[in-house]
Amino acid sequence: MGWLHLINPLYAISGFVVGVLVGFTGVGGGSLMTPLLVLAFGIHPAVAVGTDLLYSAVTKGVGTIVHGFRGTVDWGIVGRLAAGSIPATALTLIVLARSPHIKDTGHGPITVALGVALILTSIAILFRQSIAAYFAKHMGELPQRQTTILTIILGAVLGVLVSISSVGAGAIGVTALLVLYPKLPTGRLVGSDIAHAVPLSLIAGLGQWAMGSVNWPLLASLLVGSIPGIIGGSLLSTRAPDKVLRPVLASALLLVGAKLLFG
């Protein structure tokens, strides 16, 4: 019971609220938690990213177990994404470790990457179906070899983006998968994206930890609140006014992204 003194009630409540929103909307916690830690609590951007990566690995691990039991994970897609993301994540971590100036506060590279990722995420949330429909109409179904190559490239892009900002594996990843695999059910693509996010977030998070960018008491506080929040939000998701929640969430992320970029 000695670890209980490490739990910060305010962080736990924040984790619970974010967990409920993630359960309601399906949007990755990184796009919500990282800017909250930076802007509301004044956490150093590098520490916010590193802590959130391990937070995401744990929470999405729970989600992967659920999707695995339901049979909504395409492990072939997960493998292709990982073939691109794991090497890209490793290379990005090496660059971060050898470039201490990247950890600067203010409008440093991490803050800029986070702002850009949030704006892209908001666009993906608002126009996911329209983007997928457009490409399905004008591009059709790609040959298997081309789809495989593009999936690996997508994994590499997500690896870089997530390693720097902790954002991108959710809404951006699913939107791109909808374009690449138009005939697969959305639930299967979401499950595959969540499963891929586990090793991606874990490797990137451990790399950030090695660089001293993880706050363990903060992580514990967030998980204490977020795990029950995600479970509760997921159970109530069928009753959530999705048509209202998604535009509101996308608008909030757009504003936060602009705030991070332009102050």
Greater pLDDT, 197 or 109: 197
What's the CA angle centered on 249, arms 132 and 171, to 5 degrees?
Answer: 35
The residue behind tokens 């298997």 is: 144
CB of 129 closer than 8 Å to CB of 196: no
Query: Distance of alpha carbon 75 from its chain centroid, rounded?
Result: 19
Tell me: the pLDDT tens digits for 148-184? Answer: 999 999 999 999 988 888 877 777 888 888 889 988 8
| pTM, 2 dp | 0.82
What is the mean pLDDT of the segment spanning 75-94?
Answer: 95
**What does each C-alpha distance from 155 to 47, 106, 125, 196, 206 come to in angstroms?**
24, 29, 19, 9, 18
Q: What is the mean pLDDT of the chain?
A: 83
**What does each C-alpha distance from 182 to 137, 155, 185, 194 come to in angstroms?**
10, 18, 8, 18
